[in-house]
Amino acid sequence: MFLIEALVYAGIAAVAGYFLGIISLKGLLWHLKVAGQATEFYPNYLGVFVIYSIGIAVLATVASSLYPIRLASKIVNPSAGRTWQLEVTDQGETAQAEDRWHVQLPFIATTWDEAKAMMVYAYDYLVIHQGERSGRFVCQSPPAGSRTRQVIELAMPVWLAPFERNLTQDTRLRATPAPDAQWWVLSLDLDRRSGPPYLWRRGASVFLDMLCKHLLRWRAATPRQEEDCLKRSDRIFPPQA
């Protein structure tokens, strides 16, 4: 977006500057003629130096957008790589490390109402993946929502592609208060139930990537969408003692 905007501005500025230069030169020649100082001067409007000047102006405009592009890419995808990096809870025991993952998602909610609305937004995405082999994962049962004090949780069994290898996992998405902070953080717990570990890790990575991409769109939600999610939160996440 930044690059396209810079190219548009550069093109408009180059064309406008070229014609303004011609008009200014015509005005200067007319002034010299009126003042009796006219000389045999024939400007070259199509010289190579004109092209060089326009090119330098366009490059300068585009160069000004490189830093915002780099900064925006880091904000949108906090990971250093192209995929989301997973954090394994049990680094010491290989068997548990292959079967259980805990992922701290790079999303926060600044208020309790926003935390509830974000979890409903995630619920809406997960609940539509209940069809037979629809996409890269299938929720084997509707996501079960619960709420205790200031913790919100979605739990569901998930079937991962390739489906013929019977890759299943228990999935828990939580919104919990951040320690010593006035916001809520999202985390994801994945526990392998069946299927080869190496295939499960691959399928779990795809599942996590798709869920994170959906949550990234939350900041683009309209106020009406946010209000609708908040209204449905008490029904989806009934309070528990």
Query: Contacts by 51-54 with C-beta closer than 8 Å and gap 24+?
Result: 54/14, 54/17, 54/18
**Residue ranges of the domains in the chain?**
2-76, 94-240
* Beta-ladder partners of 187: 104, 174
CATH code: domain 94-240 is: 3.30.310
pLDDT of 151 > 90? The answer is yes
Q: How far apart are CA 136 and CA 129, in angstroms?
A: 9
Q: The pTM is what? A: 0.64
Give the residue with greater pLDDT, 173 vs 37. 173
User: Do the beta carbons of residue 218 and residue 147 sit within 8 Å?
Assistant: no
Q: How far apart are CA 61 and CA 219, in angstroms?
A: 29
Helix axes 2-34, 48-63, angle to 10 degrees: 140
Q: Which amino acid is at 84?
A: W
Q: How far apart are CA 180 and CA 116, in angstroms?
A: 20
At residue 25 the predicted structure's pLDDT band, cuts being 50, 70 and 90, is confident
pLDDT of 227 > 90? The answer is yes
At residue 159 the predicted structure's pLDDT band, cuts being 50, 70 and 90, is very high
Give the residue with greater pLDDT, 1 vs 165. 165
At residue 204 the predicted structure's pLDDT band, cuts being 50, 70 and 90, is very high
- pLDDT at position 90 is 47
Q: Which of 212, 234, 228 is nearest to 125 (CA)?
A: 212
